[in-house]
Amino acid sequence: MWKRRGPRIQIKSAEQIELMRVAGLVVGRTLDRLREAVKPGVTTADLDRLAEESIRDQGGVPSFRGVPGPLMPFPAVICASVNDEIVHGIPRTDKVLRDGDVISIDCGAIVGGWHGDAAITVPVGEIAPELETLLMVTEESLWRGLAAGRAGGRLSDISHAIESYIRSQPHPGGRYGIVEGYGGHGIGTEMHMDPMVPNHGAAGQGPELVPGMALAVEPMVNLGTKGTRELHDGWTVVTADGRYSAHFEHSFAVTVDGPWVLTAVDGGRERIAELNSGQNRPKGEN
Protein backbone atom coordinates (compact mmCIF):
# COMPACT_ATOMS: atom_id res chain seq x y z
CA MET A 1 0.00 0.00 0.00
CA TRP A 2 2.67 2.50 1.00
CA LYS A 3 5.07 1.69 -1.80
CA ARG A 4 2.37 1.92 -4.41
CA ARG A 5 1.35 5.36 -3.16
CA GLY A 6 4.99 6.41 -3.18
CA PRO A 7 4.66 9.03 -0.50
CA ARG A 8 7.12 11.86 -0.72
CA ILE A 9 7.32 13.04 2.82
CA GLN A 10 8.44 16.59 3.57
CA ILE A 11 11.21 16.61 6.17
CA LYS A 12 11.55 19.85 8.10
CA SER A 13 14.61 21.31 9.82
CA ALA A 14 14.43 21.97 13.57
CA GLU A 15 14.00 25.68 12.75
CA GLN A 16 11.09 24.92 10.42
CA ILE A 17 9.44 22.80 13.10
CA GLU A 18 9.70 25.82 15.43
CA LEU A 19 7.83 27.86 12.80
CA MET A 20 5.17 25.14 12.61
CA ARG A 21 4.83 25.38 16.38
CA VAL A 22 3.80 29.04 15.97
CA ALA A 23 0.99 28.01 13.61
CA GLY A 24 0.10 25.12 15.89
CA LEU A 25 -0.27 27.43 18.88
CA VAL A 26 -2.58 29.73 16.93
CA VAL A 27 -4.83 26.76 16.25
CA GLY A 28 -4.55 25.33 19.77
CA ARG A 29 -5.41 28.64 21.45
CA THR A 30 -8.28 29.22 19.04
CA LEU A 31 -9.77 25.83 19.87
CA ASP A 32 -9.41 26.59 23.60
CA ARG A 33 -11.48 29.75 23.05
CA LEU A 34 -14.07 27.92 20.98
CA ARG A 35 -14.44 25.20 23.63
CA GLU A 36 -15.35 27.92 26.14
CA ALA A 37 -17.85 29.45 23.71
CA VAL A 38 -19.82 26.25 23.06
CA LYS A 39 -23.17 26.36 24.85
CA PRO A 40 -26.84 25.87 24.07
CA GLY A 41 -28.20 28.68 21.85
CA VAL A 42 -24.89 29.43 20.09
CA THR A 43 -24.88 28.87 16.32
CA THR A 44 -22.08 27.21 14.40
CA ALA A 45 -21.74 30.47 12.43
CA ASP A 46 -21.08 32.29 15.75
CA LEU A 47 -18.22 29.86 16.41
CA ASP A 48 -16.90 30.40 12.90
CA ARG A 49 -16.73 34.19 13.41
CA LEU A 50 -14.99 33.73 16.74
CA ALA A 51 -12.44 31.39 15.13
CA GLU A 52 -11.61 33.87 12.40
CA GLU A 53 -11.16 36.68 14.95
CA SER A 54 -8.92 34.52 17.11
CA ILE A 55 -6.73 33.34 14.22
CA ARG A 56 -6.31 36.83 12.77
CA ASP A 57 -5.70 38.44 16.20
CA GLN A 58 -2.76 36.05 16.60
CA GLY A 59 -1.34 36.90 13.18
CA GLY A 60 -2.55 33.80 11.38
CA VAL A 61 -4.60 33.22 8.26
CA PRO A 62 -7.48 30.70 8.23
CA SER A 63 -6.62 27.78 5.94
CA PHE A 64 -9.92 25.96 5.36
CA ARG A 65 -11.79 28.65 3.43
CA GLY A 66 -11.39 28.08 -0.28
CA VAL A 67 -10.25 24.45 -0.11
CA PRO A 68 -11.62 23.01 -3.38
CA GLY A 69 -14.56 20.62 -3.11
CA PRO A 70 -16.70 18.69 -5.59
CA LEU A 71 -19.49 21.33 -5.69
CA MET A 72 -18.00 24.41 -4.07
CA PRO A 73 -14.90 25.50 -2.23
CA PHE A 74 -15.17 25.15 1.57
CA PRO A 75 -16.91 28.38 2.63
CA ALA A 76 -15.82 28.80 6.26
CA VAL A 77 -12.96 28.99 8.76
CA ILE A 78 -13.88 25.93 10.83
CA CYS A 79 -15.60 22.65 10.14
CA ALA A 80 -18.49 22.36 12.61
CA SER A 81 -19.91 18.83 12.68
CA VAL A 82 -22.81 18.22 15.06
CA ASN A 83 -24.04 14.85 16.39
CA ASP A 84 -24.22 12.36 13.48
CA GLU A 85 -22.01 14.64 11.37
CA ILE A 86 -18.49 13.19 11.49
CA VAL A 87 -16.36 15.81 9.73
CA HIS A 88 -16.48 18.70 7.23
CA GLY A 89 -19.76 20.22 8.51
CA ILE A 90 -20.34 23.75 7.22
CA PRO A 91 -21.06 26.46 9.84
CA ARG A 92 -24.54 27.97 9.44
CA THR A 93 -26.45 30.85 10.99
CA ASP A 94 -29.47 28.55 11.43
CA LYS A 95 -27.57 25.71 13.10
CA VAL A 96 -28.30 26.34 16.78
CA LEU A 97 -26.56 24.13 19.37
CA ARG A 98 -28.90 22.42 21.81
CA ASP A 99 -28.38 20.84 25.21
CA GLY A 100 -27.21 17.24 24.70
CA ASP A 101 -25.48 17.84 21.33
CA VAL A 102 -21.85 17.07 20.61
CA ILE A 103 -19.92 19.27 18.18
CA SER A 104 -16.64 18.53 16.44
CA ILE A 105 -14.75 21.74 15.68
CA ASP A 106 -11.89 21.38 13.21
CA CYS A 107 -9.63 24.39 12.74
CA GLY A 108 -6.65 25.21 10.55
CA ALA A 109 -4.37 28.21 10.27
CA ILE A 110 -1.28 29.33 8.37
CA VAL A 111 1.50 31.47 9.85
CA GLY A 112 4.46 32.40 7.69
CA GLY A 113 3.58 29.68 5.18
CA TRP A 114 3.37 26.86 7.76
CA HIS A 115 0.16 25.03 8.62
CA GLY A 116 -1.46 23.89 11.84
CA ASP A 117 -4.54 21.63 11.95
CA ALA A 118 -6.42 20.33 14.99
CA ALA A 119 -9.91 19.36 16.12
CA ILE A 120 -11.87 18.84 19.33
CA THR A 121 -15.29 17.41 20.07
CA VAL A 122 -17.14 19.34 22.75
CA PRO A 123 -20.29 18.50 24.71
CA VAL A 124 -23.11 21.06 24.57
CA GLY A 125 -24.58 21.35 28.06
CA GLU A 126 -25.23 17.94 29.54
CA ILE A 127 -24.75 14.93 27.27
CA ALA A 128 -25.69 11.26 27.59
CA PRO A 129 -23.18 9.09 29.51
CA GLU A 130 -22.50 6.97 26.41
CA LEU A 131 -21.52 10.15 24.54
CA GLU A 132 -19.24 11.25 27.37
CA THR A 133 -17.50 7.90 27.05
CA LEU A 134 -17.35 8.18 23.25
CA LEU A 135 -15.57 11.54 23.56
CA MET A 136 -13.12 10.21 26.14
CA VAL A 137 -12.32 7.09 24.13
CA THR A 138 -11.78 9.08 20.92
CA GLU A 139 -9.55 11.68 22.56
CA GLU A 140 -7.52 9.04 24.38
CA SER A 141 -7.09 7.10 21.12
CA LEU A 142 -5.62 10.27 19.59
CA TRP A 143 -3.07 10.50 22.41
CA ARG A 144 -2.20 6.82 22.08
CA GLY A 145 -1.56 7.47 18.39
CA LEU A 146 0.56 10.56 19.08
CA ALA A 147 2.58 8.67 21.71
CA ALA A 148 3.40 6.05 19.07
CA GLY A 149 4.90 8.72 16.80
CA ARG A 150 8.46 7.99 17.86
CA ALA A 151 11.58 8.31 15.69
CA GLY A 152 12.67 4.86 14.54
CA GLY A 153 9.12 3.50 14.55
CA ARG A 154 6.90 3.05 11.51
CA LEU A 155 3.96 5.11 10.36
CA SER A 156 1.36 2.42 11.00
CA ASP A 157 2.45 2.14 14.63
CA ILE A 158 0.30 5.26 15.05
CA SER A 159 -2.67 3.67 13.26
CA HIS A 160 -2.35 0.50 15.29
CA ALA A 161 -2.13 2.35 18.61
CA ILE A 162 -5.37 4.19 17.80
CA GLU A 163 -7.28 1.11 16.73
CA SER A 164 -6.08 -1.18 19.48
CA TYR A 165 -6.95 1.36 22.18
CA ILE A 166 -10.49 1.82 20.82
CA ARG A 167 -10.97 -1.94 20.55
CA SER A 168 -9.80 -2.35 24.15
CA GLN A 169 -12.63 -0.17 25.42
CA PRO A 170 -16.02 -1.58 26.41
CA HIS A 171 -18.89 -0.35 24.24
CA PRO A 172 -22.49 -0.16 25.41
CA GLY A 173 -24.02 -3.03 23.48
CA GLY A 174 -21.82 -3.49 20.42
CA ARG A 175 -18.59 -1.99 19.19
CA TYR A 176 -17.34 1.40 18.10
CA GLY A 177 -17.18 2.17 14.40
CA ILE A 178 -13.72 3.40 13.43
CA VAL A 179 -14.17 5.56 10.35
CA GLU A 180 -12.12 4.52 7.33
CA GLY A 181 -11.43 6.52 4.19
CA TYR A 182 -10.83 9.71 6.17
CA GLY A 183 -7.88 10.14 8.48
CA GLY A 184 -4.64 11.86 9.28
CA HIS A 185 -2.04 13.24 6.92
CA GLY A 186 1.34 14.84 6.56
CA ILE A 187 1.35 18.60 7.17
CA GLY A 188 3.82 21.42 6.57
CA THR A 189 3.85 23.94 3.76
CA GLU A 190 0.44 22.54 2.80
CA MET A 191 -2.35 21.30 5.02
CA HIS A 192 -2.73 17.90 3.36
CA MET A 193 0.51 16.21 2.33
CA ASP A 194 1.88 12.68 2.13
CA PRO A 195 1.63 10.32 3.88
CA MET A 196 -1.94 9.37 4.78
CA VAL A 197 -2.27 8.32 8.43
CA PRO A 198 -5.09 5.75 8.73
CA ASN A 199 -6.81 5.17 12.08
CA HIS A 200 -6.60 1.39 11.86
CA GLY A 201 -4.15 -1.29 10.78
CA ALA A 202 -1.29 -3.52 11.85
CA ALA A 203 1.84 -2.02 13.42
CA GLY A 204 5.25 -1.93 11.78
CA GLN A 205 4.18 -0.91 8.26
CA GLY A 206 4.87 2.09 6.08
CA PRO A 207 7.64 4.68 6.11
CA GLU A 208 10.02 4.94 9.03
CA LEU A 209 9.31 7.86 11.33
CA VAL A 210 12.25 10.26 11.31
CA PRO A 211 12.86 13.59 13.07
CA GLY A 212 11.48 16.46 10.97
CA MET A 213 8.32 14.68 9.89
CA ALA A 214 5.11 16.46 10.84
CA LEU A 215 1.80 14.60 10.84
CA ALA A 216 -1.80 15.37 11.70
CA VAL A 217 -3.44 12.47 13.56
CA GLU A 218 -7.25 12.47 13.66
CA PRO A 219 -9.33 9.51 14.80
CA MET A 220 -13.06 9.61 14.02
CA VAL A 221 -15.11 7.19 16.08
CA ASN A 222 -18.80 6.36 15.68
CA LEU A 223 -21.07 5.10 18.41
CA GLY A 224 -22.61 2.81 15.77
CA THR A 225 -21.22 1.31 12.59
CA LYS A 226 -18.23 2.69 10.67
CA GLY A 227 -20.28 3.46 7.55
CA THR A 228 -20.34 7.02 6.25
CA ARG A 229 -22.39 9.05 3.79
CA GLU A 230 -21.76 12.44 2.20
CA LEU A 231 -24.50 15.09 2.17
CA HIS A 232 -25.59 16.94 -0.98
CA ASP A 233 -23.47 19.97 -0.06
CA GLY A 234 -20.48 17.87 -1.20
CA TRP A 235 -18.77 18.39 2.16
CA THR A 236 -20.59 17.14 5.24
CA VAL A 237 -19.78 13.52 6.11
CA VAL A 238 -22.38 11.83 8.33
CA THR A 239 -22.73 8.39 9.86
CA ALA A 240 -24.66 5.96 7.67
CA ASP A 241 -26.75 4.80 10.64
CA GLY A 242 -27.47 8.25 12.10
CA ARG A 243 -25.74 7.55 15.40
CA TYR A 244 -23.38 10.13 16.87
CA SER A 245 -19.67 10.48 16.15
CA ALA A 246 -16.57 12.06 17.71
CA HIS A 247 -13.37 13.46 16.18
CA PHE A 248 -10.16 14.73 17.77
CA GLU A 249 -7.02 15.90 15.99
CA HIS A 250 -3.55 17.23 16.72
CA SER A 251 -0.60 18.06 14.49
CA PHE A 252 2.70 16.78 15.86
CA ALA A 253 6.36 16.65 14.89
CA VAL A 254 8.65 13.66 15.22
CA THR A 255 11.69 14.89 17.19
CA VAL A 256 14.73 13.28 18.77
CA ASP A 257 13.08 13.97 22.13
CA GLY A 258 9.86 12.21 21.15
CA PRO A 259 6.59 13.51 19.68
CA TRP A 260 6.02 17.27 20.03
CA VAL A 261 2.33 18.08 19.82
CA LEU A 262 2.44 21.37 17.93
CA THR A 263 -1.27 22.18 18.32
CA ALA A 264 -1.42 21.37 22.05
CA VAL A 265 -0.80 24.57 24.01
CA ASP A 266 1.43 22.68 26.49
CA GLY A 267 3.16 20.70 23.72
CA GLY A 268 1.88 17.39 25.12
CA ARG A 269 5.30 16.19 26.36
CA GLU A 270 4.13 15.19 29.82
CA ARG A 271 1.06 13.31 28.69
CA ILE A 272 3.10 11.42 26.12
CA ALA A 273 5.92 10.63 28.56
CA GLU A 274 3.29 9.20 30.89
CA LEU A 275 1.81 7.05 28.11
CA ASN A 276 5.22 5.84 26.99
CA SER A 277 6.36 4.83 30.47
CA GLY A 278 5.57 1.62 32.29
CA GLN A 279 2.68 -0.56 31.23
CA ASN A 280 1.82 1.33 28.09
CA ARG A 281 5.24 0.84 26.52
CA PRO A 282 4.88 -1.48 23.54
CA LYS A 283 6.17 -5.02 24.04
CA GLY A 284 9.82 -5.58 23.22
CA GLU A 285 10.89 -2.05 24.05
CA ASN A 286 11.66 -2.39 27.74
Q: Which helix (H) or strand (E) holds 195?
A: strand 193-197
Give the residue with the Cβ less far from Mg ion, 106 or 139.
106
Give the residue with the Cβ less far from Mg ion, 108 or 206.
108
Least Å from the CB of residue 249 to Mg ion:
5
Q: How many CB atoms lie within 10 A of CB 60?
A: 25
Give the residue with the Cβ less far from Mg ion, 52 or 117.
117
What residues line the site for Mg ion (CB under 5 A)? 106, 117, 119, 216, 249
> CA-CA distances (angstroms) from residue 206 to 5, 122, 152, 258?
10, 33, 12, 19
Give the residue with the Cβ less far from Mg ion, 95 or 115.
115
User: Contact at 8 Å (CB) between 46 and 127?
Assistant: no
Report the distance separating Cα 226 and Cα 215, nearest Å.
23
Give the residue with the Cβ less far from Mg ion, 213 or 216.
216
Q: How far apart are the first and last CA of the chain?
A: 30
Report the distance separating Cα 22 and Cα 8, nearest Å.
24
Least Å from the CB of residue 108 to Mg ion:
6
Nearest Cα to Cα of residue 44 among 107, 1, 2: 107
Least Å from the CB of residue 124 to Mg ion:
20
User: Contact at 8 Å (CB) between 62 and 51?
Assistant: yes
